Amino acid sequence: MARLQGKIALITGAASGIGRETALLFAAEGAAIMASDVDEAGLAGLPGRAVKLDVTSEADWQAAFVEARAAFGRVDILVNAAGIAIGGAIENATLADWRRTMAVNAEGTFLGCREAVRSMRESGGGAIVNISSAAGLVGDPKLAAYCASKGAVRLLTKSVALHCARAGYRIRCNSVHPSFAETPMLERMFARASDPEKLRAGLIRATPLGRLGSAGDVAGAILYLASDEAAFITGAELAVDGGLTAA
Ligand SMILES: NC(=O)c1ccc[n+]([C@@H]2O[C@H](COP(=O)([O-])OP(=O)(O)OC[C@H]3O[C@@H](n4cnc5c(N)ncnc54)[C@H](O)[C@@H]3O)[C@@H](O)[C@H]2O)c1
């Protein structure tokens, strides 16, 4: 039995990495997919419908939900996977990088949650899964803005979860916290490093399970939280980090 049979899922950041893997897995599990990204060309080849959605744009969010409802009648699942990582310790980080990071990672997730709650409360409920990071649970000295944005996603998630529960909406909201998953985002980080192989080995050494994660590792956790198997789980944070934050 497919785990998302009959569900309608809107996924952001679906052109690449974790978002893309999630779209493919959800489709394989029976969901109808609305795949979105600011990189419209990157959505080619995905199942379902594709829509250009810049998560920093309020108008894009409204249009995406209008289109999803017109096509499918409702949205049952929102996965906020779009995100950017701009490195920078507090001494060197620029205000422009801070603002861009907060706009995509934190504001983008805020706008998505708001639009989803307004839609799902009318259609009888749903599930929101926000992709934060291990860097939203613990600090990283080289990622000041990124950590702040992902910490914001973590507590936004709990606020949304509590609001929906208290309002009596059947809407759950949870966050997923990957560490180092081998996606184009991580590959870009390796490419910028002075010694990529040393960096890769260091990240593997730091991970108790002794390997990097994969987009599939993260998509599996997202699938669980989005499915009815997680019907009693809301406001939770699920680390998908090979034990990194357990220590
Ligand atoms: N890969 C990792 O190791 C890792 C670790 C922790 C958290 N994460 C988080 O997981 C999520 C997915 O990351 P990934 O590794 O798949 O990265 P990725 O770079 O492979 O994919 C991110 C996608 O987001 C899209 N995007 C960027 N800005 C956007 C915007 N304004 N509107 C819409 N889409 C936009 C990009 O076009 C891209 O398709 C991100 O939120 C990231 O912060 C990743």
| Residues 11-54: tens digit of each pLDDT | 999 999 999 999 999 999 999 999 999 999 999 999 999 999 99
Q: What is the pLDDT of residue 48?
A: 97
Positions annotated as catalytic residues are 146
Phi (first) and psi of residue 186, to 5 degrees: -70, -35
- In this structure, which residue's CA is closest to atom 23 in ligand 1? 13
Q: What is the pLDDT of residue 136?
A: 98
pLDDT bracket for residue 88 (50, 70, 90): very high
The rounded distance, in Å, linking the Cα atoms of 137 and 40 is 31
Six-digit token string for 176 = 């997923």
% of the chain with per-residue pLDDT over 70: 100
Q: Is the pLDDT of residue 206 over 80?
A: yes
Q: How many CA atoms lie within 13 A of 42 on its CB side?
A: 18
Alpha helices in 168-242 (DSSP H): 184-192, 196-206, 215-226
Per-residue pLDDT tens digits for 214-231: 999 999 999 999 999 999
Residue span of the structural domain in which 149 resides? 8-181+213-242
Q: Is the pLDDT of residue 1 over 80?
A: no
Q: What is the pLDDT of residue 111?
A: 99
Q: What is the pLDDT of residue 12?
A: 99
Amino acid at 209: L
Q: How many CA atoms lie within 13 A of 233 on its CB side?
A: 18
61-100 in b/e form (b: 16+ CB < 10 A) is beebbebbeeebebbbbbbbbbbbbbbbeeeebeeebbeb
Closest CA to 153 of 226, 215, 101: 101
pLDDT bracket for residue 152 (50, 70, 90): very high
Six-digit token string for 193 = 């490093």
The rounded distance, in Å, linking the Cα atoms of 154 and 229 is 21
What separation in Å is there between the alpha carbon of 194 and the centre of ligand 1? Answer: 23
Six-digit token string for 120 = 């799902």
**Maximum pairwise Cα distance, the chain:** 52
Q: What is the pLDDT of residue 146?
A: 98
Six-digit token string for 231 = 């019907």
Q: Is the pLDDT of residue 209 over 80?
A: yes
Q: What is the pLDDT of residue 216?
A: 98
Q: Is the pLDDT of residue 148 over 90?
A: yes
What's the CATH code of the domain at 54? 3.40.50.720
What separation in Å is there between the alpha carbon of 37 and the centre of ligand 1? Answer: 10
Q: What is the pLDDT of residue 230?
A: 98
Average pLDDT (163-182) is 98
- In this structure, which residue's CA is closest to atom 21 in ligand 1? 16
What separation in Å is there between the alpha carbon of 179 and the centre of ligand 1? Answer: 13
Mean pLDDT of the residues in the chain:
98
What is the pTM (predicted TM-score) of this model? 0.99
Q: What is the pLDDT of residue 109?
A: 99
Count: domains in the chain: 1
With a Cβ cut-off of 6 Å, ligand 1 is lined by 12-13, 15-19, 37-39, 42, 53-56, 81-85, 104, 108, 131, 133, 178, 180-181, 183-186
Q: 27 lies in a domain? A: yes
Per-residue pLDDT tens digits for 122-138: 999 999 999 999 999 99
Q: What is the pLDDT of residue 61?
A: 98
Q: Is the pLDDT of residue 235 over 80?
A: yes
Q: Specify which residues 192 forms β-bridges with.
A: none
Q: Is the pLDDT of residue 242 over 80?
A: yes
